[in-house]
Amino acid sequence: MTKAAGKPGTQGLFVSFEGIDGSGKSTQARRLHEGLLAEGRQAVLTREPGGSPGAEEIRALVLQGDPDRWSAETELLLFTAARRDHLERLIRPALAEGKMVICDRFADSSRMYQGLSRGDLRDKVDALHQLMIGTEPDLTFLIDMDPAAGLARAKARATEEERFEDFGVALQERMRAGYLALAEEFPARFIVIDGNRPQDEVAAEIRARLEERCPA
């Protein structure tokens, strides 16, 4: 990590957003990106699965269609393949140009979804990550929120990509607890944000916490 992220000639800062479905990750990642650009800082907004042309193709494979289309293991390989392409083609080059990279989900989503909810594959997730990815974000904003409210928000937003979206509140509860445990596992990079508040308040806190860690 470098305090000079966003300035040419230095390595940029890699920031990810994580949380249960509907917690407001995409909204907050976009708002942070817009805010930074308005201040003249160099920042790239991206997402997983996806973020590069090849990874977006894998995204369509993995998020659309029958929920039983892939086993949890195959899914993990697909997410990892997408992540590798994204890292090679977009994330590493942008960081090398000194840009801040703001990523809506990254490897922690595999730790949670493939590692905890879709299969009990955490050891395999970690082994593959070490072998094929290696990189972790410098900072991860975990948007923590009430699982029932998150589910209601996610359901109100209908999309074609619904393979993962309808797992019920019990699973959302488990995922929330899993994410909070992950934040304790990686305390140096996780910042937990209370997402049960109006968007403006959440955005202001994220901006302030980023500034503490990475002054302009």
**Which partner in ligand TYD, ligand ADP, none is near 198 (CB below 5 to 8 A by kind)?**
ligand ADP
Tell me how far apart the alpha carbons of residues 186 and 206 are, in angstroms, rounded to a whole number: 18
Tokens 């905890």 belong to 116
Tell me how far apart the alpha carbons of residues 188 and 192 are, in angstroms, rounded to a whole number: 12
Omega into 49 within 30° of 0, i.e. cis? yes
Q: Minimum CB separation from ligand ADP for residue 86, in Å? A: 17
16 part of the interface to ligand TYD, by CB under 6 A? no
**Does the annotation flag 26 for ligand binding?**
yes
Q: Which of 89, 92, 153, 174 binds ligand ADP (CB under 6 A)?
A: 153
- 162 and 65 in contact (C-beta within 8 Å)? no
109 part of the interface to ligand TYD, by CB under 6 A? yes
Question: 173, 48, 175: which is closest to 113 by C-alpha?
Answer: 175
26 part of the interface to ligand ADP, by CB under 6 A? yes
- Which three-class secondary structure state does DSSP give residue 16? strand
Question: Applying CB under 6 A, which residues contact ligand ADP?
Answer: 19, 21-27, 153-154, 156-157, 198-199, 202
Question: Applying CB under 6 A, which residues contact ligand TYD?
Answer: 21, 25-26, 48-49, 63, 79, 105, 109-110, 113-114, 154, 161, 164
